A and B are shown apart, each in its own frame.
Chain A
Amino acid sequence: MKYIKPIVVIIIFILIFIFLNKLLSPKYMTDLVEGNMTYEYYKEDKKHEVIFIGDCEVYANFSPMVLYEEEGITSYVRGNSQQLIWQSYYILKETLKYETPKVVVFNVNSMRYSEPVSEAYNRLAIDKMKWSKEKIGIIKASMTEEEDFLSYVIPLLRYHSRFDKLTSEDFEYLFKTKNSMYNGFLINKNVKPVESLPTKRRLSTYQFKGNCYEYLDKITALCRENNIKLVLIKAPSVYPYWYDEYEKQIQEYAANNNLDYYNFKEKVEEIGIDYSTDTYDGGLHLNLNGATKLSKYFSKILKEKYELIDYRNDERISNIYEEKLKQYIEEIN
């Protein structure tokens, strides 16, 4: 009896603490929706034959709804803003706990980065990931020098200063979320044609770093162990950040490991991408028009080369996708 009151007080403070952690954490519902990408996957019906992993070049450029509409392919884009290669590895590892796709498509752009880049991007990718061995691994691999592990465990340590930035969104989505993406694809209908491009920078070395290869090997091994076909891609972009030396190294890696590699930068005309109408940021990423064209093009390759099932004939799956497709079409028109 003596300890009932103290225990009640402790419980009340723990509840307040949990509440404050939830309240002050960003909700990513209307602004920076990229922060919700990792979480939206958990709400999905997890039966996808194709999983995309990579940075913004996958979630902005490949639309699973188009893949379904065109070829009946079920797919999901597990992308994040500036998803680094070790993040792709842990995201894939986590995905394999839920499902085993036939094909994993990895965008090789992140081979350019051998060190953690930005705390803000880390947060967008990791904050809403469910706790698991993979989450611990992704945090440890991604943290910049200024970050600490504890602030991932207790978000309040990172987001406490948001007390003066709270909006109605923070209260509305305190205990619920809404989807902002379609199977991980983020619609962007804006058009900003290519006008000027940054100058091509000379680098001291064009050799991908050892740790990037290490994680690429891990991704390759993970797919092999699970009988998954790993497909390497380089998404199209007119920005001069993908050097010939990079291209050569990826081609060599693909050949040595018996992997398929598609560089869509070189197929822009064949795909029909028009950089005066198909980009929302002057050529770095594709907009909805461009993504639709690229997805249609890639859906044919996927269907032909990897013997994927046409799920438009599966009643349960097609019901789910048709419903989503309806919403998707409404939103894009």
Chain B
Amino acid sequence: MLINILLLILSIGIYAKFGISNLIYILFSTITTYIAAMVIERKKINKGNALYNVNNVNEGNKNNETIEVEAKNNQNKKHRKWILILTIAINACILIAIKILIFGQAKYNLLSTTNIIAPLGISYYTLQVISYIVDVYKGKIEAEKNFFKYLLYVMYFPYLFIGPITRYEDMKKELFKKKSIKLENIYNGAIRILWGLTKKFVIAGRVGILINTIATDTSNYKGSYALLAMLLYSVQLYADFSGGIDIVIGGSKMLGINLKENFDSPYLSQSIKEFWRRWHIALSSWLKDYIYIPLGGNRCSKIRNKINVIITFVISGFWHGINYLLWGLMHGLLVVYGKILKTKWKPLNILITFLLVSVLWSFFIWPDTITSLQMIQSIFTNFNYVEMFTNFQNLGLNLENIIVLITSVLALIIFDIKKDKIINKIKNYKLEGKIAVIGTLALIVLVFGIYGIGFNVSEFIYSKF
């Protein structure tokens, strides 16, 4: 209880620190969905009466009162539906409007006098509140009566910047269970946080230097450089995003709160379809449950199913921003028609999937769709790999740093391949072994991390979505 009060105060404080307007937005979403869920729940209580009266009807006792209740229930059903639609629409519209305004400002200099900044975590908490209201409507969960409990679910600060997107059903069990501080959780949480920091600062930070050099000078760096940037961005985004999630999961673990995994070695996927089961799992599963299935999922014709998949991915692209619509569409098409690329050789499938994912990340590297397409095109028209290899050391990293980068990426690959084995081994370590792991990771981050003056350590790539 005390931990939760502290967590709530801390969360509100952090939101407020980033600007009071953040608080207004998130409180609006929280209050509207809280009230809507309560109303939906109350209207649902009459459903019980309806059942009772329906039974009476069946028994042939249909009277005026029953007809009235029936009519009332039909009306309630309609009301519930409208409340749901209205609540979703209001919250989704805010998110959509912000995405459009941000795009408009960047592309057409709209509202040039005002700097439009998305409220902190809006992409994440909007999906959370929508999932909550839908789940209450469907009767999957009961509406939370305690406003502050619901507020903590929405505002829980560890997932403030980059998610993961959680469901109330899961978080209720974790947040409001009886928690006690256990040493075991502290060690394991600390290891997870430090592993995340290693990925973020040692790998993503270093790769970021190379990508910045290449991406900011499209006239000189194209062809093989563009491909290099795409491959490196795959590494950077994964290390940065999954590193951030490791920090969130590790921090929560220390508090005794278990969050679901958001990544499952995604670059070992053998198809784009599999990739989306292993990458940003929380978003994929949200899109599946709240977009794909309501659209009809796979319980429809094959063509309709394919359209449903593509629509879902386009929405996923939109969630990232208007610039990413094409990216979403391409992923949708690759999920639907990806089978034709599959071979019998597993490593080749992994390689093809990695290359496809990397090339499509180009929409995230360059500031607009046209430049991204030009960069993809340049791979085929102006490859010039000899120059890229000879010039590699002038891209911002010296030999020592390149060695650190290669070593740490290899460590990440080995970890992803042998993840379960390594985690189990560390879990079984005695106290001194765990302290040694913590100490080693801490020293690696401290010495080889890219941080300090000129680097914003709290900035994660996925926090901008």
Which A residues fall within an 8 A CB radius of B?
3, 5-6, 8-10, 12-13, 16-17, 20, 24, 119, 146-147, 151, 156-158, 160-161, 163-164
- Do A156 and B446 contact each other (CB < 8 Å), given the known contacts A151-B452, A161-B452, A164-B400? yes
With a CB–CB cut-off of 8 A, which chain B residues contact A16? 439, 443
Nearest 5 Cβ contacts at the A-B interface? A164-B400, A13-B439, A5-B432, A9-B432, A6-B432
> Is B453 engaged at the interface, CB distance under 8 Å to the other chain?
yes
> Is B401 engaged at the interface, CB distance under 8 Å to the other chain?
yes
Besides A12-B439, A163-B448, 20 other CB < 8 A contacts? A3-B431, A5-B430, A5-B431, A6-B431, A6-B432, A9-B435, A9-B439, A10-B435, A13-B436, A13-B439, A17-B446, A24-B447, A146-B454, A151-B452, A156-B446, A157-B446, A158-B452, A158-B453, A160-B452, A164-B401
What sequence of 0s and 1s flags, for each residue 269-312 of chain B, a beta carbon within 8 Å of any chain A beta carbon? Answer: 00000000000000000000000000000000000000000000
Most A Cβ at <10 Å: residue of B435, B448, B450: B435
> Is B398 engaged at the interface, CB distance under 8 Å to the other chain?
yes
Q: Do B435 and A6 have beta carbons less than 8 Å apart?
A: yes
Chain B residue with Cβ nearest A164: B400
With a CB–CB cut-off of 8 A, which chain A residues contact B431? 3, 5-6
In the bound assembly, the distance between CA atoms of A333 and B454 in angstroms comes to 44
> Is B449 engaged at the interface, CB distance under 8 Å to the other chain?
yes
Q: Do A119 and B453 have beta carbons less than 8 Å apart?
A: yes
In the bound assembly, the distance between CA atoms of A255 and B448 in angstroms comes to 56
In the bound assembly, the distance between CA atoms of A218 and B63 in angstroms comes to 94
In the bound assembly, the distance between CA atoms of A158 and B446 in angstroms comes to 10
Chain B residue with Cβ nearest A161: B452
Q: Do A147 and B453 have beta carbons less than 8 Å apart?
A: yes
Most A Cβ at <10 Å: residue of B400, B442, B446, B454: B446
Q: Do B452 and A9 have beta carbons less than 8 Å apart?
A: no
In the bound assembly, the distance between CA atoms of A8 and B400 in angstroms comes to 32
Partner of A9, one of B436, B446, B450: B436
- Do A163 and B400 contact each other (CB < 8 Å), given the known contacts A6-B435, A8-B432, A156-B446? yes
In the bound assembly, the distance between CA atoms of A3 and B435 in angstroms comes to 12
Closest chain A CB from B345 CB (angstroms): 40
Count of B residues near A, CB < 8 Å? 20
A sample of 23 inter-chain contacts (CB < 8 A) reads A5-B430, A5-B431, A6-B431, A6-B432, A9-B432, A9-B439, A10-B435, A13-B435, A13-B436, A13-B439, A13-B443, A16-B439, A20-B443, A146-B454, A157-B446, A157-B451, A158-B453, A160-B447, A161-B452, A163-B400, A163-B448, A164-B398, A164-B401
Question: Which positions 190-220 of chain B face chain A at CB distance < 8 Å?
Answer: none
Closest chain A CB from B338 CB (angstroms): 42
Partner of A160, one of B398, B436, B439, B446: B446
Question: Which positions 369-401 of chain B face chain A at CB distance < 8 Å?
Answer: 398, 400-401
With a CB–CB cut-off of 8 A, which chain A residues contact B430? 5
Question: Which positions 398-412 of chain B face chain A at CB distance < 8 Å?
Answer: 398, 400-401
In the bound assembly, the distance between CA atoms of A147 and B454 in angstroms comes to 10
Closest chain A CB from B362 CB (angstroms): 30
Closest chain A CB from B457 CB (angstroms): 10
With a CB–CB cut-off of 8 A, which chain B residues contact A119? 453
In the bound assembly, the distance between CA atoms of A108 and B38 in angstroms comes to 71
Closest chain B CB from A142 CB (angstroms): 15
In the bound assembly, the distance between CA atoms of A161 and B397 in angstroms comes to 12
With a CB–CB cut-off of 8 A, which chain A residues contact B448? 160, 163
With a CB–CB cut-off of 8 A, which chain B residues contact A158? 452-453
Q: Do B435 and A146 have beta carbons less than 8 Å apart?
A: no
Most B Cβ at <10 Å: residue of A5, A6, A13, A160: A160
In the bound assembly, the distance between CA atoms of A146 and B457 in angstroms comes to 12
In the bound assembly, the distance between CA atoms of A6 and B436 in angstroms comes to 9
